[in-house]
Amino acid sequence: MKKNASLSVLETLSFDEVLFRRRSVRGYLADEVPADVLRDVFGLAQRAPSNCNVQPWIVHVVSGDARHDLRDKLLAAARCPEKLNPDWPVDIRFEGVFREHQFDAAAQLYGALGVERQDMAGRNDAYLRNFAFFDAPHVAFIFMPLPFDVRQATDCGMYAQTLMLAMVSRGIDSCAQGALTLYPAWCANTSASRRRIGCCWAFPLATKTPARRPMPPAWAGARCPSAVQFHR
């Protein structure tokens, strides 16, 4: 993607292509996404639906030195399981077809990494990569202010989906990470106030280069909302 590109001149993918191209990517180059492209993407994501148009999401995008510092703190916490203190329960056991989906995803992931099921050290190393954001140059945290709860969390889920698809349409890969919500104290420090993050996800993100088509002019000029804050 060219630096300093704006939505008025970018080309984009069809909706079907966006759906089929979205993947959970777990390996990134260090190149940062241009700031104007990031702001355009979050401007598009703000069009996500929400109950009564409340828009309960608050997003913090962490890059540069702030990202490095947060990575180090999360990695240290993840190496001490007793520090795990999620806002939302994480001990739910999947059953039936949902368990099959979980096992299949794990088998494909660890198989691609060359990690055997019995290799506990290798599996732990793979787990810790979550807290290094898979080396992505940016990570976005979606917070939900207290006292919002499950009802408003569905709105955050729709926002997260819209955000990921907007990223794909602009040549940005991402990965929705539940693991980064396991230590909310460190992540909440990013936002300087108490907010829930376990209801949704955090996203490492970086650019790729997809094939593109002309973008419909009606979407040009989306503005980054005040609900999104950037940290370096």
Provide the domain count of the chain: 1
Q: What is the pLDDT of residues 136-180, one digit of tens each?
A: 999 998 888 888 888 888 999 999 999 999 999 988 999 998 888
Q: What is the pLDDT of residues 172-188, one digit of tens each?
A: 999 998 888 888 777 76
Whether 61 contacts 160, CB under 8 Å: no
- The answer to whether residue 169 sits within a structural domain is yes
- The answer to whether residue 162 sits within a structural domain is yes
pLDDT band, residue 200 (cuts 50/70/90) = very low
- The answer to whether residue 215 sits within a structural domain is yes
Residue 109 pLDDT greater than 50, yes or no: yes
- The answer to whether residue 196 sits within a structural domain is yes
- The answer to whether residue 209 sits within a structural domain is yes
Higher-pLDDT residue of 48, 215: 48
- Which residues neighbour 141 within 8 Å (Cβ) at sequence distance 6 or greater? 59, 60, 61, 62, 180, 187, 190, 191, 197, 202
Quote the domain boundaries for residue 146. 11-91+134-231
CATH number for the domain harbouring residue 191: 3.40.109.10
